[in-house]
C-alpha cells in the first residue's frame, strides 16, 4: 500500500471534513476500530498496574490477644466511710483503699460555707468504717480528740449495744430516732436482725437501706 499523502493544499477549496474523509479512506475503518480497542485495553492494563493494591483480607480480621494479666495485677480494694458535718452531701461513700481524708470530703461534694477544714487532718489515711466529720467554724466536736476527722464510732455498730450517740452518727438518724431505737430495744428485747429496725417509728425502707451496711446485731 502506498504511503498516504494529502492532496494539494487548497484551504479555500477543501474543508477539514473532506480531509478527514480522505484520511479514513486511506487508513480504513477496521484499522481505526482495532486501534481504538487496543488503546482501551492498554489503558485498562495501565490503571490496574498503577493503582494502589488493596489491603489483604487478613489485615481486616480481628485476632484474639495472646497477652495475659500480669501476676501482680489485682482488684482495687475499697473502704466504706461515713462523711458527715459541714459538707455538701453527707452520707456513706466507698473510696479506694489508701484514700485520704481530703478525698472523703471531696466525694461528699466538698466543704460548705462555714466549714472549718483547718481543724481536720486532711492528709490522714481513712480506714474502713470510719466516720469523717467536718466541723463548722467555732464548733467543738470533742475536746479530748484533736482530730475531728476521727470522731465517732467504728462501723458497723451493734444495734443492741450502741449508745444514743453512736446511733446519732448514722446517716439520717437524728437524736429522736436514736432514742426511738433504744426504746424499741428496751421494750421488745434485743434486735434479732437489722430488718427489725422497720418496727421503729421514723425508720422506713429507704432509711434502712441507707444504714444497712453500717449496723449489725
Contacts of 207 (CB under 8 A, 6+ apart): 172, 173
pLDDT tens sequence across 39-48: 666 766 766 6
Closest by CA position to 90, among listed 136, 124, 125, 121: 136
Hey, which bits of 9-107 come out as E strands?
Answer: 78-85, 91-96
Q: Which residues of 127-150 are buried (b: 16+ CB within 10 A; e: fewer)?
A: eebbbbbbbeeeeebeeeeeebbb
Nearest alpha-carbon partner for 79 in 150, 153, 157, 131: 131
CATH architecture assignment, domain 155-217: Orthogonal Bundle (1.10)
Judge if 76-152 and 155-217 fold alike in CATH terms: no
Q: Is 91:171 a contact under the CB 8 Å cutoff? A: yes
Query: By the 8 A CB rule, do 126 and 105 touch?
Result: no
Residue 111, pLDDT above cutoff 90:
yes
Domain ranges for the chain, please list them: 16-49, 76-152, 155-217
**Looking at domain 76-152, which CATH architecture does it have?**
Roll (3.10)
pTM, rounded to two decimals: 0.39
For the stretch 9-33, pLDDT in tens is: 555 455 666 666 666 666 666 667 6
Amino acid at each position: 500500500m502506498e504511503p498516504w499523502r494529502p492532496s494539494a493544499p487548497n484551504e479555500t477549496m477543501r474543508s477539514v471534513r473532506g480531509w478527514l474523509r480522505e484520511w479514513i479512506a486511506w487508513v480504513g475503518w477496521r484499522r481505526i476500530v482495532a486501534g481504538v480497542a487496543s488503546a482501551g485495553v492498554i489503558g485498562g492494563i495501565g490503571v490496574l498496574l498503577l493503582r494502589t493494591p488493596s489491603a489483604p483480607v487478613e489485615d481486616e480480621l480481628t485476632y484474639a490477644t495472646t497477652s495475659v494479666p500480669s501476676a501482680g495485677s489485682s482488684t482495687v480494694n475499697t473502704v466504706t466511710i461515713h462523711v458527715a458535718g459541714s459538707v455538701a452531701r453527707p452520707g456513706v461513700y466507698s473510696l479506694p483503699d489508701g484514700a485520704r481524708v481530703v478525698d472523703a470530703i471531696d466525694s461528699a461534694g466538698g466543704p460548705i460555707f462555714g466549714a472549718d477544714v483547718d481543724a481536720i487532718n486532711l492528709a490522714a489515711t481513712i480506714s474502713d468504717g470510719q466516720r469523717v466529720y467536718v466541723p463548722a467554724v467555732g464548733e467543738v466536736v470533742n475536746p479530748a480528740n484533736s482530730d475531728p476527722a476521727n470522731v465517732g464510732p467504728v462501723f458497723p455498730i451493734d444495734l443492741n449495744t450502741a449508745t444514743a450517740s453512736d446511733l446519732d452518727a448514722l446517716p439520717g438518724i437524728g437524736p429522736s430516732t436514736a432514742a426511738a431505737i433504744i426504746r424499741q430495744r428496751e421494750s421488745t428485747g434485743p434486735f434479732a436482725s437489722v430488718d427489725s429496725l422497720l418496727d421503729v417509728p421514723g425508720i422506713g425502707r429507704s432509711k434502712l437501706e441507707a444504714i444497712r451496711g453500717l449496723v449489725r446485731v
